[in-house]
Structure 1
Amino acid sequence: MASNPGITQKKMSIQNKYNEKLVGILHETGSPDIVVLCHGFLCTKNDRIMVSLAAALEAEGISAFRFDFAGNGESEGVFMVCSQRQAEDLRCVVQHFVGQNRKIAAILGHSKGGSVVLLYASMYHDVHTLVNVSGRFDLLRNVREELDDDEFMERMKKDGFIDVKNAEGEVVYRFMELCLTNLLLNPNMHDACCEIDKACRVLSIYGSNDEVNPIEDALEFEKAIPNHKLHIVEGADHFYTSHSNLSELVSIAISFIKQDLHHN
C-alpha cells in the first residue's frame, strides 16, 4: 500500500475482447486524470521502470494504471508476438477508464510497449499525449533469420502459430501466422506513425547505449511522427539500469505528461 493515506493501490482486472482478464494495479490518487503504463517484451507490470513511473505519478497526484498484457504476468491468455493484439488490449483498458468518466492523460510504453502505444495512437486517435520509451521501429529485426528457415515456415503454415519454449520446455510466447503476415505487410512503424494526429504530442526517450533498440530507431521515429520530441539519456542501456539514468527517464516523462495537464 502507498504511504500517503490519500492514495490507494488496488489490484483489478479488465476483460479484453477475447474474454481474457488483464490484471493490473491501479494507483488511485483521486485525480480525474489517469496515465496507462505498458510494459515491454516478456516483462510485466512489476517491471522496475513501470513501478518507478507509477510511484512518481502518485507523488504528483496523478493516478496511474500499470497492467500485464495478455499472456504476461498475472493476465490470462498466451502471450503473442503481435503488436496489434497488445494494442487491442490497451484499447480495452482505455475504454474501461473512459467508461468510468476518467480522462486518459497519457499512455506510456517501454520497449515493445512503446511500439504498442504508437500503434494504438495511429489506430484510435483518442489519447493526445504519448511517451515512447525505447520502442522498436523495425519490428522485423529479430525475425529475419527465422523467415529464411524452411522448417520454421512449414510449421507456421501447418499450425498457424509457433510456440517458442525455454530450456525447461515451457512455452514462453506464441508467434502467430496472422501476426507474421501483418509484420510482412508493414515491416516497420513508418506508415503507422504517419497516421498519428498532428495534435497528438509524442515524446520518445532513448538511452545512448541501448543494445536492444538502438538510437537509430529514435531518429526514425523523429522523422516519421508529426509532433515529436526526442530526449536521449546519455549512457543509459535499454533497461535504464543505473539509478541516475532511471531518475532522468522518470523526470523527463513526468514533466512532459504534466505539461499537457497544465494546458487543459
Structure 2
Amino acid sequence: MDSTTTSANLEIKQQKIVIENNYGEKLVGLLHETGSKEIVIVCHGFHFTKEYSMMVDFCSALEKHGISSFRFDFSGNGESEGLPQRAFRKEIDDLKAVIQHFTQANRVVSAIIGHSKGGTVVVLYASLYQDIRTVISVSGRYNMHSGLEDRLGKNYMERAKKEGFIDIKSKKGQALYRVTEESLMEWMNTNMHEACLKVDQDCRVLTVHGSVDEVIPVEDASEFAKIVPNHELRILEGANHDYTNKRDKLASVILPLIVANMHRL
C-alpha cells in the first residue's frame, strides 16, 4: 500500500517493494520516491531492521533534498525471508541484488549508506564492486575480533565448534539469535585491512563515528581513514552508537557529500 506525504512542496510516495536475492529469498524494502532518477540505498545494522528510527531519519532527510531512497531488510531480518547472518557475505549479496534491481529499472544508485554492521557491509561491497561512487559508513566495525567475548560469552570458539552454534539470549533468557560456527569463522576471517586496500580510488568514502560509541570503539573509524584511498573521517563529539540527540548533526554531515556527488553524475 502506498502513502503520500508532502515535504518542502514535494510529493513523496512510500512504496513497499519486494526484491529476490540470489538465494531465491524475498527482500522487503520501502521506497521513498521523490521522482529523482538518482536513488540512495540505506542499510541497517545487526539485529535491526529497515524500521529502525535512524534508517527512517536518513530517508526523511534525503526527501527534503528531493532525493529518492530505499531502506530494506537484509535476509533473515524484519519482513525479509531467510535466516539472520552473523557474517557479511550474504548481506553483501543482498545489497548487490537491490542495486541491480534499481539499475535495471534505469535508476542511478548514487550512494549507499550503512549503520553499524551495515556500515561495514557498504565498505566491503565497495571493495568487491566498482559500481558505486559514494559510500557512507556510519559507526562501522573495522576490528572483527574486538568485543566478541562480551557478545558471545567466554570460550565462544570452543562452544561453537562443539555444538555447531551459539544461541544468544536476553537477560530474561529469551532467544535473540543464533551464531553458527560457519558464520563466526567468516566473521573472524573478514580482513578489513585487505578490503579497504581494494576500494577504488574514484569511490568517495565517508566514515562517521560517535566519540562516545559504546558498541564499536571510535578507534575503528581511524583505521578506515588510514587505508581507504579516497576517504573523509568525521568524528561527532558526544555521539553514541545510536546518535541519541545527534541525528540532525549526523544528517548535516552526510547530506552535503551525497548532494555534491549527485551534481557530478
TM-score above 0.5, yes or no: yes
Distance 2:156 2:211 in 1: 31
Q: Is there any run of 5+ residues in structure 1 with no aligned partner, and where?
A: none
> Once structures 1 and 2 are overlaid, which stretch shifts more, 109-118 or 176-185?
176-185
Aligned pair in 2 of structure 1 residues 8, 198: CA closer, same or farther (>3 Å)? same
Is the contact made by 1:107 and 1:131 (CA closer than 8 Å) also made in structure 2?
yes
Deviation at 1:170, TM superposition (A): 5.6
Aligned pair in 2 of structure 1 residues 235, 184: CA closer, same or farther (>3 Å)? closer
Q: How well do the aligned residues superpose, as a CA RMSD in angstroms?
A: 1.8
Give the TM-score taking structure 1 as reference length: 0.91
Residues matched between the structures, number = 257
Which runs of 4 or more aligned residues in structure 1 lie more than 6 Å from their structure 2 counterparts after TM superposition? Answer: none
In structure 2, what residue type is equivalent to 1:66?
R
In structure 2, what residue type is equivalent to 1:261?
M
SS in 1 for 2:123: helix
SS in 1 for 2:110: strand
| 1:179 alignment counterpart | 183
| 2:261 alignment counterpart | 260
Distance 1:197 1:210 in 2: 28
| 1:112 alignment counterpart | 117
Q: Deviations over 1:150-191 (max 9, x none)?
A: 3332112xxxx44434467665333233333333433x4111
Q: Deviations over 1:21-74 (max 9, x none)?
A: 111100011111000000111011111111011011111111000001111111
In structure 2, what residue type is equivalent to 1:3?
T
Aligned pair in 2 of structure 1 residues 183, 97: CA closer, same or farther (>3 Å)? same
| 1:35 alignment counterpart | 40
Is the contact made by 1:22 and 1:68 (CA closer than 8 Å) also made in structure 2?
yes
Is the contact made by 2:161 and 2:181 (CA closer than 8 Å) also made in structure 1?
no
2:48 aligned with 1:46, yes or no?
Answer: no
2:204 aligned with 1:201, yes or no?
Answer: yes
Which of 87, 100, 103 is 1:82 aligned to? 87
Question: Identity of paired residues, percent?
Answer: 47
Give the TM-score taking structure 2 as reference length: 0.91
Is the contact made by 1:78 and 1:173 (CA closer than 8 Å) also made in structure 2?
no
Q: Deviations over 1:96-147 (max 9, x none)?
A: 1011011001000000000000011111111110000000111222335555
SS in 1 for 2:11: coil
Is the contact made by 2:144 and 2:188 (CA closer than 8 Å) also made in structure 1?
no
